[in-house]
Amino acid sequence: MGGCGDCTRGTGRVGREERDAVARGVRLYEAAQAVVGDHARAVEAVRTALKPIHDAAVKRELDAISVTRLQDVTEGRLRLGSVEREGFGTVGRVLETSPYRLRQIPGVGQRTVDQMLAAARQISQAVRETVAVHIDVDRPEPRTTALVMALHVLVEAGPPAQRAVERAAALPERLGALLADARSATGRFRLLLAGREKKARALAAVAEIRSLVDEAERSGLPELLAQASVDLLRGAPSDVAAWVDFELRSADYYSLLTEISGRLPDTAASEGFLPEEIAERVRAQQLDDAHRRVSLRGYQAFGARFVLAQRKVILGDEMGLGKTIQAIAVLAHLAAEGQSHFMVVCPASVLVNWTREIEARSALRVMVLHGPDRHYAFADWKGRGGVAVTTFDALRGLPTPGGGEVGMLVVDEAHSVKNPKTKRSQAVAVWAERCERSLFMTGTPMENRVVEFRNLVQMLDGAVADSLGERDALVGSVAFRKAVAPVYLRRNQEVVLTELPSLQHTDEWEELTESDEAAYREAVREGNFMAMRRAAYMRPEDSAKLDRLREIVREAGETGQKTVVFSYFKDVLGVVEAALAVGPTAGIPMFGPLNGSVPAARRQHIVDAFAEVPGPAVLVAQIQAAGVGLNLQAASVVILCEPQIKPTIEHQAVARAHRMGQVRPVRVHRLLATGGVDERMVRMLEEKSRLFDAYARRSAVAEATPDAVDVSDIELARRIVEEEQARLGVTGEGDAASA
C-alpha cells in the first residue's frame, strides 16, 4: 500500500505541474485566437467599407467606356450601330439592361445579345480587377469616412500588430492538437486511468506545451498579443482624427488598402523587370521587422529583400518611392541579425533628414559624424555602434574600416560619386570595398549615361561593370537590363503606386550655413520676424535651403516633372529665379513670378503657358497670389520655401496642384531650417494643423474665413522673436510688430 501511496502522491504532483503548464498553454492559445480573430474582423470591416466605393468606381469606369469596345473583345464580330442608336452607348448601360430589353433593339437577336453581354462582362471583370479607389480628402462623405475609419484601426495598430498576427497564425493549430493530447495529464485520476500509450502521449504533449510557452514568454509574445488585441479593438477617436491621420500617413493607408483589396501593381513592374532567377532569390529572402517602426509597401519590401539578397547594389527607384525607408528596413533587418555598425553617406543638405528618418522609422541608434566634433562622435560610434550618418567630404577624413566591421554602407545621392577621379568618389570606393554590403541610392536615371553608370557599378561589382557595353545602354534595352540586374533595381511611380494620384509631404530640414546663421542672427537682433523667416535666402552664394531647392528642381527636371515654387516673399522668389537660371537647372523653362501685382487674367495666361510646355518647367509664385483660385495640376512637385504662419495657406497652395485632373502623384517639399524660427513655427502650429485646422477646412464657414481659425500673426511673431532673442542671447533692437 505504501508503494501505491507514493505513486499516488507523485502522480498528484505531476498533475498539478501539468495543469499549470496546460493552463499557460490555453491562455496562449486563446490569446493567439483572439488576435487572429480581431485582425480578421478589422480586415473584413475594411472590405465591407470598400465594396460600395469600389462598386461605384467600377460603374463610373464602365459608364465611360464606349460600347464600341465590345467589338475589340469579339474581334469585330458584333454589329452595334442599332445598339448605339437606341441609347446604349456605353458598356455600363449594356450591363444594367435586361437581356429582354436588349432583344427589343431592331436587328439584335438572342445570339448577339449573348455575345454582347459576355463581352461586356469580360470588360467589367477586367475593370473590377484593375480600378483603384482614390480617397478624396477634400470631399469626405459618409462612405469614404467609413473606409478611412476602418483603415485607421489597422494603420494605428501598425507593424507590431501585423507581427503579432503572423506569429499567432500558426499557434492555434499547433497548440490545439497538443492541448487535446495533454488533456489526460490535467487531472490526477485522468492520468491514473489513462493507458500507457495515452499517458506517454499526454506527458510528451505537456512537455512540448511547456517548452513552447516558455519560449513564447521569453520572446515577449503574450505581451505582444495582448497589446495587438487592444490596438485592433480600439477605433478612431473621431472621424476628424481619422481623416487627419490619413492626410499625415496616406501611404500607410493606401498600402493597406492595396493589400486588402488584392489590386496589387503589376508584379514584373514592381520587381523592376528582373530576370526570374534573381527575382526568385529575392522573394525567398527573409525580412525581419523587429527593429522597424514603419510598414512597407509590397514593392518596398521587395526592394529591401533585393538589397539583402544581392549584397552590393544600386537602388535607382524614381524619386518619391521611398528609397530611404527601404534602406532603413535593410538596416533594421541586419541589426536583428546581430550587426552593430552601419554607415550612411549623404550630401550635407539631407543629413538632418536621414537622422530624423532613422529615429522615426526604426529603433536603431543614430550618430551624426559632422562638424568639428565628428572625430569624437566617430570614436563613440565605433565603441557603441548604431547608424553613423556623415557627408561625402567628412567621410574622407574618417579612418577606413577593416573587413567585416561595418554591416552595411549606404550612399545616398550616389550619382555624386560617378566621377572616379574625385576624392569623394575614391573615399566611397574604399569604404565599399571594405564593407560586405553596400547600397547606392539615386533617383537619377543613370542607365542613360552608361559611362557614369559603369563607374558606380565598378565600386560594387567589377565583373558586371566590365560586361556593360555602350550598345547595351539603349533606353529599355533588354540586354542592358539583364546585364545590370544583379546590381541594379529601378521602379517608376506610375506602375507601382496604384492609387494615383497620391500626396506625399516631406519636411526638408536643413542646417544653416555660417552665412545663413549670420543673416539670421542679425534679423533676430533687429527683432524683425519677417527678416528672420527669409534670412536663409538673403545670402544666396552660401544658402543651405537654396542648395536643396536646386537639387529638388534638378531631380524633377531629369524625370520630366514640372515644379511650382511657393514663397510668401517677393525677394525670396527673385533669389530663387536667379539661382535656377544658372548651373544644372539653367535649361529648364521658367515662368512667373506670380504675385499680387499680376492681374488675374495675366496669372491664368502664365499658368496655361506653364502647363503647355512639354517636359519639365518651373513656376515661381507668391503663395498668397497663386495659392488660391488657380489650378496648377500640371505640377507634380511643390516646393514651399518656408513654413507659413497660417496652415490654411499651405493647404490651399498644395490643393492647387493636388486636385481633380492631376495624373501624377504630388510631392510637397517644405524647406525648413533647424534650431530657429522655422522649428518654433512648426512646433507651435502642429496641433492646429493636424486636428482643429483639419476640421475647420471641412467647414464652409471656416473655408470662407480662414483668419477665424488660425493663430494670431502678431502674437505668434512676438512669441517667436522673444524666444529666439533669449536663445541667441542678443538684445532686441526692434519690435516683433515689424512682422
Residue 85: pLDDT above 80? yes
pTM of the model: 0.64
Task: Count Cβ atoms below 10 Å from residue 388 Cβ, excluding itself.
Answer: 25
The residue behind cell 552664394 is: 541
Question: Residues 518-527: pLDDT tens digits?
Answer: 999 999 999 9
At 349, list the grid cell: 543638405
Which residue ranges does the chain devote to CATH 3.40.50.300?
503-738
Cis, peptide link before residue 501, omega less than 30° from 0: yes
Cis peptide, bond prior to residue 593, ω within 30 of zero: yes
Note the Cα 12 to chain centre separation in Å: 58
| pLDDT tens sequence across 204-262 | 888 999 999 999 999 899 999 999 999 999 888 889 889 888 877 777 888 888 888 87
Distance of CA 590 to the CA centre of its chain: 30
**Cβ count within 10 A of residue 87:** 10
β-bridge partners, 314: 440, 488
Residues 6+ apart with CB under 8 A from 224: 160, 163, 164, 167
Region(s) of the chain under CATH 3.40.50.10810: 267-496
690 vs 386, higher pLDDT: 386
Q: Which pLDDT band, with edges at 50, 70 and 90, does 47 fall under?
A: very high
Q: What is the pLDDT of residues 186-199, one digit of tens each?
A: 655 455 555 677 77
- For the domain covering 267-496, report its CATH number: 3.40.50.10810
Residue pointed to by grid coordinates 568618389: 425
User: SS3 of 440, please?
Assistant: strand
Which residues, 6 or more positions from 91, have their beta carbon under 8 angstroms from its beta carbon? 62, 63, 65, 66, 67, 69, 70, 120, 123, 124
- At 533 the pLDDT is 95
537-558: per-residue pLDDT in tens?
Answer: 999 999 999 999 999 999 999 9
DSSP string, 604-628: HHHHHHHHHSSS--EEEEEHHHHSS
pLDDT at residue 597, rounded to an integer: 85
What is the reported pLDDT for 2?
Answer: 41
* SS3 per residue for 237-302: CCHHHHHHHHHHCHHHHHHHHHHHHCCCCCHHHHCCCCCHHHHHHHHHCCCCCCCECCCCCHHHHH
Q: Which amino acid is at 409?
A: L
Which range is least confidently modeled, 67-81, 394-408, 550-564?
Answer: 67-81
CA distance 45 to 301: 25
CATH of domain 503-738: 3.40.50.300
The whole-angstrom distance between residue 271's C-alpha and the CA centroid of its chain comes to 17
In angstroms, rounded to a whole number, what is the distance separating the alpha carbons of residues 435 and 456? 15
